[in-house]
Amino acid sequence: MTEKPKRVRFTKRDFLKFHHYPSAVEQGEVPVAMPARRSRFRFACGALASFLILLVVLAGVAFVVLRVGIGGEALTQRAEAALKSVVGPDTDATIQSAQISLDQRKHVALEARNVNISDVKRGVEIKNIRSVRIGLATLPLLQGDVKVQSLELTGAQIKVAASQEPFDFMSIVPQDDRGLVNLDGVSKLIFTGLQNAVSLLDQRETRDITVADASFDFTIAGRPENLRIIHLELTETGGPVAIKGMVEWRGKIIDVAAQVKRAALGAKIDSFSLAISKIPLIGEQGEPPVADADGIKPDTSYFAYNNEAEIRLEGVAGADTIPMRISGSLNVGEGPVSIGNVENMGASAQINFEHLFGTEKIEITPSAIHFGGFKGVIEGAVGPEPLPEDATAVAAVANPGYRFELITQEAVSAPADSSEPPFAFNARLAGRFASDEAKLDISEIAVRADGESELYGQGSAIFGKGSPAMTLALRIPKMPTAQVKQLWPIWVATGARRWVLDNLFGGEVRDSRVDVMFAAGRFDGPGKPPPLTADEVQVDFNVQDTRFDIVGDLPPIRDADGAISVRGAYTTIKLLKGAAFTPGNREAHIVDGTLIIPWGPQRPVLSELDLNIAGDASAIAEIAGFKPINAVKGVPFTPADISGDVKTHVLVTFPVTRHAPEGSLQWSAEIALNGVNLAKKVDGQTITNANGTLNVNDTEANIDVKAQLNGVPADITMFEPLGSNPAKRKQSVSLQLDDKTRNALFPSLDPFISGPVSIDIDKAADGSQVAVADLSKAEVRLAQLGWTKGAGVKATAKFGLQQDADNISIRNLDIAGETFRLRGDISVAKGDLVSADFSQVSLNRTDDIAVKVSRTGYGYRADVKGKSFDARSLLNQVTDKKQAGDSNDKKRILVNADIDDVQGFYSESFGNVSLSYEGVGSHVSGLAFNAVTKSGQKVIATDSSESGARSVSLQSKDAGAVLRFTGFYDKMQGGSIVVALDSKGDGPLRGQIDARDFTLVNEPRLASLVSSSPNGTSLNDAVKKNIDVSVVTFERGFSQIEKGKNYINLANGVVRGSTIGTTFQGVLSDPQGNMALTGTFMPAYGINRIFGELPVLGLLLGNGRDRGLIGITYKLQGPIKQPQIIVNPISVIAPGIFRSIFEFQ
C-alpha cells in the first residue's frame, strides 16, 4: 500500500530566472537582451484581469455543471423540505430525484423530478410532475441563507377530485340575513382574497411562479373537463403582481392576464385588473331535434352554442372619499346559437357592468347585445330587492329575491327569416328573481316605437331540471303588422309565425294578445314533445288593411281585415273583407274567408282554405285560373271574354309540408253566376245572361245555370271530368223557345211550328248532342201535307244534334205523339232549312209514307212516297174557308207525291195517287192530281197559272166518290163531274160545275123541303101524295161558280131529275163560314116541267128557268155544315110565274 502523498509548498525563493539555468550558462554566446522590468501598477492590472478571467472560467464551469445538474440523496431530501415549505404543511409532496441547476432566470435552482403532490383536504392531486425548479435568491445564498426566489413547474397532471355533493357556488358567496348575495361583501371578499394571496406570496418571498405544460382535470356539472396550462407566469416586482400566460381548454387557446397594483412590497392592494380572452363557449344541452322528411324540426328543450368570450374585471380598493368599485365586461364574440328547433342564430354580446360599494346593485352600463334578429344597446341594474320600511322580520325572509330593470333606447329587431325592414324600438324589462324558488317574474314588458306603436306584457319562468315552467302574456293595443312580425318570439307558435312571416304584409294589428303557458319539463322528451294544446298557446291578432298571400299563384288579398287565432298548434286565419287584384288589373271583393293550418307532428300537414269572393266575372275567372285551383284550364274563352256578377265559394285543402302524397291537394269552387255573358262562342253557341251555379273541383265540373243560349232562354246542366277522372262528359241544355226567339234563330221553322217549345239537349261522350223537345204546348204544322198537331196535344221530339259553327245537323229525329210519328234527319245552315229526309211519316195511325225535302235554288222540293196516307187534314186545309190569305213565305215549294192509297172523308179512298204541286205561299203555280176511285174511275185535277191567268179543272166519272173523298158531300153516289174555273190576275176564279147521272141517297134536307108545312100546305099536300126523296136520281146538276178570297158564290144553279128538281143561287160560303142560298124546289119534275114548255102558257104557269108549275121557294142559311131551311108556304099554291113573286130575295 503506497503512502499517502504529502502536500508540498513552493516559495518564491524556489524559483530561478531562466538565465540562471545551466542551459543558459553553458552557452558561449552573449545572452539575449531582456525587456525592462514592469511597474507594480501594470502588475496589479494584470493580476486583476487574470482573476476576472478565472471567475468567468469558474462561472462558466459552474453554469455548465448547474445546467447539467448536480444531485445526491441529501440534495433530494433538502429539495422535498423546500417544496413542502412552498406548498404548505397540509400537503404531501414526494420527489424521486433532485439536483442543482439554473432556472429560466438563471438563478441557482433546486430542481426536483417526478414530483407528486397530494392535498387530501382540498381534493387536489398533482401527479407525474416532470420538473419542479425552486430558484434560490443569489445574495442570500452567498451569505449562507436559502430563500426561494422562484418556482417553475413543468409537465404536471393536476386532478381535482369530484365532490359527491354538487358544487354550491352560493356557499362561498357572502349573503345577507335573507340569504341574498351581499354585493358589498362580494367586493370585500375579492379584495380580501387578493390581499391574502399577495401577502402569502410576500411571506414566502417567492417572486416568480411559472407553470408550463400542465394538465388540469376537473368536473363541471358531472361532465369531465380538462384544462391544459401551456404557460402561466406570476411575477412580483417590488409591489405590483402580474399574471400572464396561456391555457388550452376544449382545443382552444385562452389568454390570461391579471395585475394587482400596490404602492410597495407588503402594502395593501390599490387596484386589480383581470383579462381572460379567447374563452371557448361551446356547449350542448338536450338532444338535438331531428328533422322529419319535410325538413321541419320539432320544438324541444335543446340548447347549443359555439362562441368565444372575453372577461375583463377591474377593481379599485377605494379610499376615504372614493368608494370601492368593481367593474367589468363580458364580451361574447359572434357565433351560432341553437334553441329548440331554431338553429344557428347569430349571437354576440358586450355586457358592461359596475358595482359601487354601498349601492347594493350592479349597474348594467350601455351594453351591446345581438341575439338572433335582435340588436340593441341595453342598460339597467340588478340587485337584491330592498325591503320596504314597514316590512316585518317575517316578511323579510318569506320571499327574498332580486329585482332587475333593463331598458334600451337603441334596439333593432330584424329576424333572418323575415323580409320586413329592421324595426327600431325602445323597450323596458323589469321584474324580480326569487332565488329560493328559482322563479323569474317579469312584471313589465314594454315596447314602444314611433310614438304610437305599443306592446306590453308580463312573463315568468320557474327553473329546475329540464325545460322551465314558463308563462308569457303580451298585449298589443296598436302596432303595424311589420313590427309585430319582427317581435314575434321565435319559439312561440313556430308554425303560425312562419306562415305570418311569409304571407302577411302591411296593415296594422289592434287589440291583440299572445298568451303562453308551458309546464316544467314540457319539452324534455323522450322523443318528440307532444303537440301544443289550446291551453298552452293562445294567440289572437286582429289585423286591418293588410295583405294576405293565400296559396299557390292565387293573387294576394289586399286591404284586408281579419283575425289570426292560434290555439296550441291549430292556427285559424279569418278574413272579414278584402280585395284581390289580378295581373290583368281586375278586382274581386273578398266577402269572408277562413284559413286553417293544423300544425302538428302529423304528416302531411294539410291546410284548409274557405273563401267567399264576389266581383266581376272576368276577375273571378282570372283568379280561378291560377294554381292550385286552375278551374278554367282548357275552357274555350279567356277572362276578357266574360262579364257579369259572380259570387264564388272556394274550398282548398293543400299541404304546407313537403313530400305530401299525391292527392293531398284538393280544391272546389262553387260559383254563383248573375247576368254573366260570354263574348266568345262556346261550341258555336252564344251564352248571355247566365244565372245559376258552377261547381268545380280538382276532378270534375258541374254547371247548372239558366241563360240565354243564342238569345233563347235555356237551362244548362253540364258535367265535365277533370284531370284523370275516367267519368264520361255529360251536357244537358233545356231551351225554352217562344215564337219570337225561335223565329230569330230558325226563321225557316215558322211555317211549321208555333207556340212555346222546350228542348233538352244532352251532350254524349263523343261530343255529339242528343236533344229531347217537348212539343205539347206548341202547334206543329206540315202545310204541304195538310197536317197540324194542335197545342195541348202531347208530343215529343228526340234527335241527335251536331253543330259546326252555324251549321246544325239533326240526326235520328223522332217526333212522336199518341197517333203520329216522324223519323228522319234535318240539316240547317244559318237558321235556314237545308234538307230533311223523313224515313217515316205517320201523321195518322194508317200513314206509311216517306218524305224527302231539299233546298233548291228557288225554294224547297219535297218528294213523298209511300203505301198509305190519310189526307183528311190536307183536304180540310184545302177546303177550309177560314184559312188566311197569302202566306208571308215567298219560297217556292215543289211537291211530288206517289202514294198507293190515300184516305179521304167518309171512308173514301183513292188509289195510285200521283201529285205534282208547285207554288209560292198560297199561290199555286201548278197542280196535277191523278188518282183512281174504289169504283175504278179516274180522278184528274189540275191547277195551273200562266201569264197572269189561272185555270182550275176537275174531271171524274165517280162524282160521288170525289165529293165524299174531299168531304164536301156524302149523299151523292155515282155520276160524272166536270169543273172548269178560270181567273185573270188577282181576280176570283169563275166557271161552272156540271154533274150528270148521279143519285142522292137519304138527303134529310130534301125530306124537310117536301114535308115542311109552316102555317100552310106542304108540298106533299099540294100533290096529294108523299113524295119519296130517300133515293133520288138526277140527270144533271149545274151551277156557275165564283170563288174569291174566302168566299164562293153560286148562280143559275139547277138540279134536275125525274122525281124532283130544284134551282138555287146565292152564297155557298162567306168569309165567316156561313151560307145563304135561295131556290125553288119542284116535285114530279118530269111532268111538272111540261107546263113550262107550253108556248105563252109556260111563261105564265112555269117559273122561269125551272119551268115547273108546282113548287116551293126555300132558303138555306147559317153554318155550312148545319144550315137552317126556311120554306115560303105561299109559294106552294102559286103557280108558275106568280111563284117568283114570293121567292126569297
pLDDT of 206 higher than 80: no
The per-residue DSSP string of 782-841 comes to EGGGTEEEPTTS-EEEEEEEEEETTEEEEEEEEEEESS-EEEEEEEEETTEEEEEEEEEE
pLDDT at 995: 94
pLDDT at 59: 43
pLDDT of 1103 higher than 80: no
pLDDT of 48 higher than 90: no
Q: What is the mean pLDDT of residues 533-555?
A: 89
DSSP category for residue 13? G
Return the C-alpha cell found at 162: 369530484
How far apart are alpha carbons 586 and 646 in whole angstroms?
A: 13
How far apart are alpha carbons 93 and 954 in whole angstroms?
A: 161
CB 782, CB 893: distance < 8 Å: no
pLDDT of 633 higher than 90: no
Q: What is the mean pLDDT of residues 797-813?
A: 82
Exposed / middle / buried, residue 428 (Cβ in 10 Å: 0-12, 13-18, 19+): middle
* Measured CA angle at 630 (ends 627, 631), to 5 deg: 150
Return the C-alpha cell found at 1057: 131529275
In terms of pLDDT, which residue wins out, 283 or 101? 283
pLDDT of 452 higher than 90: no
Encode pLDDT of 723-750 as tens digits. 788 888 777 888 888 888 878 777 767 7
pLDDT at 612: 92
How far apart are alpha carbons 1006 and 393 in whole angstroms?
A: 147
Q: Which of helix, strand or coil describes residue 1051?
A: strand
Q: What is the mean pLDDT of residues 269-275?
A: 90
3-state secondary structure 116-127: EEEECCCCEEEE
Cα→Cα distances 781→17, 708, 736, 746, Å: 180, 26, 19, 15
CB 1061, CB 1082: distance < 8 Å: yes
* Amino acid letter for position 573: I
CB 1017, CB 1132: distance < 8 Å: yes
pLDDT at 446: 93
Count the Cβ atoms, other than its own, within 10 Å of residue 1059: 16
Q: What is the mean pLDDT of residues 370-397?
A: 79
Q: What is the mean pLDDT of residues 662-689?
A: 84
pLDDT at 1018: 61
pLDDT of 899 higher than 90: yes
How far apart are alpha carbons 844 and 836 in whole angstroms?
A: 20
Residue 499 pLDDT grade (very low, low, confident, very high; cuts 50, 70, 90): confident
Exposed / middle / buried, residue 962 (Cβ in 10 Å: 0-12, 13-18, 19+): buried
- Helix 959-966, helix 872-879: angle, nearest 10: 90
In terms of pLDDT, which residue wins out, 1127 or 470? 470
pLDDT of 140 higher than 50: yes
How far apart are alpha carbons 4 and 535 in whole angstroms?
A: 108
pLDDT at 53: 41
Q: What is the mean pLDDT of residues 901-920?
A: 91
pLDDT at 62: 42
CB 759, CB 746: distance < 8 Å: no
- The answer for residues whose C-beta is within 8 angstroms of residue 1065's C-beta and 6 or more apart is 1050, 1051, 1052, 1053, 1077, 1078, 1079
pLDDT of 1141 higher than 50: no
pLDDT of 68 higher than 50: no
CB 507, CB 482: distance < 8 Å: no
Residue 928 pLDDT grade (very low, low, confident, very high; cuts 50, 70, 90): very high
pLDDT at 931: 96
Which has the minimum average pLDDT: 306-320, 761-775, 863-877, 1004-1018?
Answer: 1004-1018
Q: What is the mean pLDDT of residues 149-178?
A: 75
How far apart are alpha carbons 873 and 779 in whole angstroms?
A: 14
The per-residue DSSP string of 453-489 comes to EEEEEEEEEE--SSSPEEEEEEEEEEEEHHHHHHHS-
How far apart are alpha carbons 425 and 412 in whole angstroms?
A: 6
How far apart are alpha carbons 891 and 894 in whole angstroms?
A: 10
Which of 148, 280, 151, 160 lies closest to 220 in space, CA to CA? Answer: 160
CB 925, CB 919: distance < 8 Å: yes
pLDDT at 562: 92
In terms of pLDDT, which residue wins out, 530 or 504? 504
pTM over 0.95: no
Backbone angles phi, psi at 1111, to 5 degrees: 175, 175
Residue 355 exposure: Cα atoms within 13 Å on the Cβ side: 22
pLDDT at 1096: 44
pLDDT at 884: 45
In terms of pLDDT, which residue wins out, 1068 or 81? 1068
Which has the minimum average pLDDT: 33-42, 327-336, 1042-1051?
Answer: 33-42
Residue 570 exposure: Cα atoms within 13 Å on the Cβ side: 6
Which of 470, 501, 507, 478 lies closest to 488 in space, CA to CA? Answer: 501
* Amino acid letter for position 299: D
The alpha carbon dihedral of 263, 264, 269, 274 has a sign of: positive
How far apart are alpha carbons 735 and 717 in whole angstroms?
A: 11
pLDDT of 118 higher than 70: yes
In terms of pLDDT, which residue wins out, 912 or 698? 912
pLDDT of 67 higher than 90: no
In terms of pLDDT, which residue wins out, 100 or 516? 516
pLDDT at 56: 40
Q: What is the mean pLDDT of residues 880-895?
A: 63
Residue 310 pLDDT grade (very low, low, confident, very high; cuts 50, 70, 90): very high
Secondary structure element (H or E) that encloses residue 625, with its range: none
Cα→Cα distances 498→296, 485, 502, Å: 11, 10, 6
Return the C-alpha cell found at 1130: 105561299
Encode pLDDT of 571-598 as tens digits. 999 999 999 998 888 999 988 999 998 8
Rg (CA), the chain: 67
Return the C-alpha cell found at 78: 433538502
How far apart are alpha carbons 847 and 482 in whole angstroms?
A: 85
pLDDT of 516 higher than 60: yes
C-alpha 1012, offset from chain centre: 97
- The answer for residues whose C-beta is within 8 angstroms of residue 602's C-beta and 6 or more apart is none
CB 830, CB 806: distance < 8 Å: yes
CB 468, CB 461: distance < 8 Å: yes
* Strand 909-920 with 892-903, pairing: antiparallel
* Amino acid letter for position 971: K
CB 835, CB 807: distance < 8 Å: no
pLDDT at 1021: 64
pLDDT at 275: 93
Return the C-alpha cell found at 502: 311569409
Residue 1098 pLDDT grade (very low, low, confident, very high; cuts 50, 70, 90): very low
With cell 197517333, the residue in question is 819
pLDDT at 17: 58
pLDDT at 991: 95
Q: What is the mean pLDDT of residues 964-985?
A: 90
Return the C-alpha cell found at 126: 398533482
User: In whole numbers, what is the pLDDT of the chain averaged over residues?
Assistant: 80
pLDDT at 1099: 44
Percent of the chain with pLDDT over 70: 81
pLDDT of 926 higher than 70: yes
* Amino acid letter for position 806: D
Which of 484, 614, 611, 636 lies closest to 554 in space, CA to CA? Answer: 611
Q: Which of helix, strand or coil describes residue 34?
A: coil
CB 837, CB 824: distance < 8 Å: yes
Which of 730, 720, 637 lies closest to 685 in space, CA to CA? Answer: 637
pLDDT of 936 higher than 90: yes
How far apart are alpha carbons 354 and 328 in whole angstroms?
A: 6
Which of 624, 626, 688, 673 lies closest to 650 in space, CA to CA? Answer: 624
CB 216, CB 294: distance < 8 Å: no
CB 233, CB 193: distance < 8 Å: no
3-state secondary structure 267-331: CCEEEEEEEEEEEEEEEEECCCCCCCCCCCCCCCCCEEEEEEEEEEEEEECCCCCCCCEEEEEEE
- The answer for residues whose C-beta is within 8 angstroms of residue 107's C-beta and 6 or more apart is 135, 136, 137, 138, 149, 150
Q: What is the dihedral of CA 150, 153, 154, 159, to 10 degrees?
A: -170
How far apart are alpha carbons 576 and 574 in whole angstroms?
A: 6
Exposed / middle / buried, residue 523 (Cβ in 10 Å: 0-12, 13-18, 19+): buried
pLDDT at 18: 54
